[in-house]
Amino acid sequence: MSTTDYAVRPAPQAVRPVPQVIAHEVIKPRQTKRWLDWILTTDHKRIGIMYLVTTFVFFMLGGVEALLMRSQLAVPNNSLVTAEHYNELLTLHGTTMIFLFVVPVMAGFGNYFVPLMIGARDMAFPRLNALSYWLLLLGGIVFYATLFYHPPEAGWWSYPPLSSIQFSPSGGQDAWIFLIHLTGISSLLGAINFYATIVNMRAPGMSWGRLPLFVWTVLVYAILLIIALPVVAAAVTMLLTDRHFGTHFFDPTSHGSPVLWQHLFWFFGHPEVYIMILPGFGIISEVIPVFSRKPIFGYKAIAAATVAIAFLATLVWAHHMFVSPVPIVVLGFFMLSSFLIGIPTGVKIFNWIATLWRGSIVMSTALYFAVGFIAVFTIGGITGIFLATFPVDWQLNDTYFVVAHFHYVLMGGAVFSIFAGIYYWYPKITGRLMNETVGKASFWLMFIGFNMAFFVQHALGLSGMPRRIYTYQPGLGWSTYNLISTIGSFIFALGILVTIYNVARSLKVGALAGPDPWKGNTLEWFTTSPPPVNNFDAIPRVRSVEPMRDIRRQIERQTGVTQKTGGSEQFARV
Amino acid sequence: MGPHHAKLRRRRVGAAVALVLAISLMLAPSALANFFTPKSGGSPNANAIDSLYKLILYVAAFVFVVVEGALFYSVYKFRAKKGAAAAQIHGNTRLEIGWTVAAGVILVVLTVITFVKLPSIIDPPNSSSNGLVLSASLTAPTPPNGKKLTICIQGRQFIWRYAYGNGCQDNAFSLKLPYSYQEMVVPANTTVVLVIQSIDVIHSWWVPSLGGKVDAVPGYTTYTWFKAPHAGALYHGQCAQLCGREHYAMTALVKVVTPAQYTEWLQQQSSAITAANAQVTQLRQILTANGNL
């Protein structure tokens, strides 16, 4: 702590609030029971925390399911679980990770940080916001209650006729439909809320060209949800009436079409992928400039790429159906549209690397995860080109190559960006810093474990292993890869546990963060950590994409002390 | 913690990563050929997919090295140092347009390559002169001279059924065509067209060495083809679409034999089926006579 003295009076602590900004509790905390406060809350920050905690519980459950599947596949002819349970596990795992973890965890970050980043005092509709959260929780409970009778086993796509009443007679499939409805309404209400908040409640001066990139991605996330969710809601309702009320939308024996389901499901399913990854892109676009001590390279290009990805995301769904009965012309169209979406995605990656270029990079754990994200997401993007080429997809579709691809995109992409977000924003949420050494250990375990678990899966797919098989015979050239993959998955899981330990322990012993431990660029760092209920006493006028940097400069001018960039000296260590 | 320690630790981490990679590679000597490329060698369409895949792989490897190289170089080179200041660059329009166009050009090239290669993947060639002697028929897909061997594949939970011979998709039963389960027998050097259907849920026909997979969707008929050059080869395949609890056990074998052996096998199979049918008919008569049926 040698250089940065913004405050007028000498600060007594090792970690000083930089700059010193004042925000107070204006509402006295009510003297009720604490748990009741959480249940009744409409505060976006508390709802955000509940989202984050709940989705992480589901992440753990989905992770345990994944580890059970990997253990079953570790050696050939294994019978750790039964074939029936294996199909239940894969359905639970996929559904949980998508509907109960990645999509809502982004809503969690969005809830907490969108109002703070745009200088608002809450979301536009606080009660609706609470309803969104409780519907999500209910969806999860309805779904996991099937553990006590009969979990669904038709996979997270639930292709009919396998998901029809004839082949999946159990109520588990209906619980799956109910989950889609509950989490769907939750996300839809949340999306409307985000949209209304971002459009109407930005700080004075925060024009569209000054909107933080994370907020841009949440805006586009909300729009995509509003476009995609009604379609899957219709599809699962049709499935429900097929199952119980005598309709035949998807029943081939009565001139229904199983391919219709595929179109409806993937019209939702592919935008869903971008719904999951775009806010992750947003987190990366916040973390990298802060720790490079540089403005984001090509702000407009990144914002435009976000919108372009969203537009194209609604035009690529049938690349999931290259092996279905679909005419060649259609295959060609969807190959081209899928190629096109690679361009804005590539532009983002180039812009992030250009932001690091000639920066003065502070190697924080958040930056580790952000760089790890770019490294693995690039691999996922490149393998996507193979899959988009439809004749090549005829070999790769429904194999472990695809499993590897979408885990590189969603685990390497979304999960690494979520972890970058956790390490970046934890000080704001809790007021304390996480342990950096433990964080980096967690990163390396996750990075090595992840690549070990999933890189060999490309080879598994190329050597002919289909996805979703319960076990396999020895001598097919799959055994070694599977064993490596299983070991890797446990290393990855260990890495996640280390971060959970870090989160829990830092709550008690982490160094006090102060309002702005990273020298952030955006308005959430303007208020105290954690912020008071009203967020801000005064909302500053925004003059650029980096209002906090402007504020720091102004303080420098007023106090006559120059700010040095490029040091990590402001990181307090435990 | 000083910079020396940090460097030492970085080196240690690097060594650990290298060790893990080395062990992974040592553990995986089997089928290293399939580490980077799909299976091929059993049929011209599988070979064509393989060569298309390889062309994309070269482009991909180039992009991978450039992007990851730039990433790790920046992180290595531009770490915060005493006295170093970050360059305050907001963007560079020319550079940004440049890499957008470059990405576009790469994708245009890949598109062109794909469509150039496509005919060799979807259009079957004629049977070779040493293949089975065939007559012409008129259902898609068809080799230029129209002569092909049609085999109908029926997916069902949890086994594949094959009916051999033209007309199998229309009236396999009245034609009394020979059939088999799980193991398909085919003549070498002969263009085999597969007519794929399902009677219950969606399955996916896939024998990697013989080309790409095709879904068997109830209510639809789908097609693919292969032409296997090596008599004596046995190819392994497996249903690729989740079809129920025994999805994992729904395997397929394709046994390639000489045309002479194939003809002989068909006759054997036909007479075995006829004999079994006669037995069942007899049993049915006895049971009916005894009032048990």
| Contact assignment for B52 to A392 by CB distance below 8 Å | yes
Structure confidence at residue A562 as a pLDDT band (50, 70, 90):
low
Residue B214 in domain:
yes
Asked whether the predicted pLDDT for residue A274 surpasses 60, the reply is yes
Q: Which of A365, A486, A470, A488 is nearest to A421 (CA)?
A: A365
Distance to chain B for A453, nearest Cα, Å? 11
Asked whether the predicted pLDDT for residue A440 surpasses 80, the reply is yes
Return the active site residues of A: 93, 122, 156, 186-187, 270, 272, 274, 285, 319-320, 345, 348, 467
Q: What is the mean pLDDT of residues B39-65?
A: 92
Q: Which residue of A has its CA nearest to B71?
A: A353
Residues B189 and B268 in one domain: yes
Distance to chain B for A493, nearest Cα, Å? 17
| Contact assignment for B74 to A359 by CB distance below 8 Å | yes
Distance to chain B for A388, nearest Cα, Å? 10
What is the pLDDT at residue A572?
35
Best of A323, A362, A364 to disrupt the B interface by mutation (most B CBs within 10 Å)? A323
Domain A47-559 classification at class level: mainly alpha
SS3 letters for A385-442?
HHHHCHHHHHHHCCEHHHHHHHHHHHHHHHHHHHHHHHHHHHHHHHCECCCHHHHHHH
pTM of the model: 0.90
What is the pLDDT at residue B169?
76
Residues B169 and B280 in one domain: yes
Asked whether the predicted pLDDT for residue A281 surpasses 50, the reply is yes
Helix, coil or strand: residue A225: helix
> Terminus-to-terminus CA distance in chain A, angstroms?
15
Residues written for chain A: 574
Residues B180 and B266 in one domain: yes
CATH number assigned to the domain comprising residue B71: 1.10.287
What is the pLDDT at residue A66?
97
What is the pLDDT at residue B31?
45
Residues B195 and B268 in one domain: yes
Complex ipTM: 0.88
Eight-state DSSP code of residue B235: E
The Cβ-side half-sphere exposure at A32, using a 13 Å CA radius, reads 8
d(CA A486, CA A123): 43
Distance to chain A for B41, nearest Cα, Å? 13
Residue B62 in domain:
yes
**A87, A328, A452: residue with CB nearest B24:** A452
Residue B170 in domain:
yes
CB A285 within 8 A of CB A296: yes
CB < 8 Å to A153, chain B: 245
Cα–Cα distances in Å, from A493 out to A195, A341, A449, A457? 35, 31, 8, 17
| Contact assignment for A360 to B84 by CB distance below 8 Å | yes
For chain B, the domain total comes to 2
Higher pLDDT, A25 or A558: A558
**B63, B201, B212: residue with CB nearest A167:** B201
What is the pLDDT at residue A237?
97
A:B CB pairs within 8 Å: 281
Q: Which of A207, A85, A227 is nearest to A146 (CA)?
A: A85
Structure confidence at residue A413 as a pLDDT band (50, 70, 90):
confident
Helix (H) or strand (E) holding A40: helix A34-40
CB < 8 Å to A480, chain B: 27-28, 30
For chain B, give the percent of residues with pLDDT over 70: 85
| Contact assignment for A340 to B70 by CB distance below 8 Å | no
Eight-state DSSP code of residue A245: S
Residues B183 and B224 in one domain: yes
Q: What is the mean pLDDT of residues B205-227?
A: 92
Residues B98 and B195 in one domain: no
For chain A, give the percent of residues with pLDDT over 70: 92
| Contact assignment for A389 to B114 by CB distance below 8 Å | yes
Best of B78, B121, B157 to disrupt the A interface by mutation (most A CBs within 10 Å)? B78
Structure confidence at residue B122 as a pLDDT band (50, 70, 90):
confident
Residue B139 in domain:
no
Structure confidence at residue A574 as a pLDDT band (50, 70, 90):
very low
Helix, coil or strand: residue B91: coil
What is the pLDDT at residue A1?
36
| Contact assignment for B30 to A480 by CB distance below 8 Å | yes
Higher pLDDT, A565 or A123: A123
What is the pLDDT at residue B21?
66
Q: What is the mean pLDDT of residues A546-562?
A: 80
Helix, coil or strand: residue A260: helix
Torsion of CA B241, B257, B171, B250, to 10 degrees: -20
User: Which tokens is A170 given?
Assistant: 């159990």
Residue B213 in domain:
yes
Q: What is the mean pLDDT of residues B118-141?
A: 74
| Contact assignment for A258 to B79 by CB distance below 8 Å | no
- Domain ranges in chain A are 47-559
CB < 8 Å to B28, chain A: 456, 459, 480-481, 484
Measure the CA angle with vertex B51, ends B49 and B54; round to 5°: 110
Q: Which residue of B has its CA nearest to A402?
A: B240
Residue B59 in domain:
yes
Asked whether the predicted pLDDT for residue B248 surpasses 60, the reply is yes
CB < 8 Å to A159, chain B: 201-202, 241-242
| Contact assignment for A301 to B117 by CB distance below 8 Å | no
Asked whether the predicted pLDDT for residue B6 surpasses 70, the reply is no
> From the DSSP assignment, how many helices (H) and strands (E) are in chain B?
6, 10
CB < 8 Å to A390, chain B: 114
Q: What is the mean pLDDT of residues A5-31?
A: 48
Structure confidence at residue B173 as a pLDDT band (50, 70, 90):
low
Q: Which of A338, A342, A344 is nearest to A316 (CA)?
A: A338
B251-257 and B234-238 as β-strands: parallel, antiparallel, unpaired? Answer: antiparallel
CB < 8 Å to A394, chain B: 49, 121, 211-214
| Contact assignment for B96 to A477 by CB distance below 8 Å | no
CB < 8 Å to A297, chain B: 89-92
| Contact assignment for B24 to A253 by CB distance below 8 Å | no
Structure confidence at residue A18 as a pLDDT band (50, 70, 90):
very low
What is the pLDDT at residue A16?
39
d(CA A276, CA A255): 35
Residue B128 in domain:
no
Per-residue pLDDT tens digits for A484-523: 999 999 999 999 999 999 999 999 999 888 888 888 999 9
Asked whether the predicted pLDDT for residue B137 surpasses 70, the reply is no
CB A345 within 8 A of CB A277: no
Domain range for B46 = 33-78+93-122
CB A319 within 8 A of CB A270: yes
Residues B62 and B118 in one domain: yes
Residues B154 and B118 in one domain: no
| Contact assignment for A469 to B247 by CB distance below 8 Å | yes
What is the pLDDT at residue B135?
53
Distance to chain A for B172, nearest Cα, Å? 20
Q: Which of A11, A8, A26 is nearest to A537 (CA)?
A: A26
Q: Which residue of A has its CA nearest to B94?
A: A298
| Contact assignment for A392 to B67 by CB distance below 8 Å | no
Q: Report the mean per-residue pLDDT for chain A.
A: 90
Q: Which of A383, A382, A266 is nearest to A323 (CA)?
A: A266
d(CA B195, CA A454): 35
Q: Report the mean per-residue pLDDT for chain B.
A: 86
CB < 8 Å to B13, chain A: 444
What is the pLDDT at residue A4?
39
| Contact assignment for A360 to B85 by CB distance below 8 Å | yes
Higher pLDDT, A130 or A563: A130
Q: Which residue of B has its CA nearest to A161?
A: B201
**B56, B122, B247: residue with CB nearest A385:** B56
What is the pLDDT at residue A8?
42
Residue B3 in domain:
no
Residues B173 and B245 in one domain: yes
CB < 8 Å to B80, chain A: 293, 360-363, 566-568
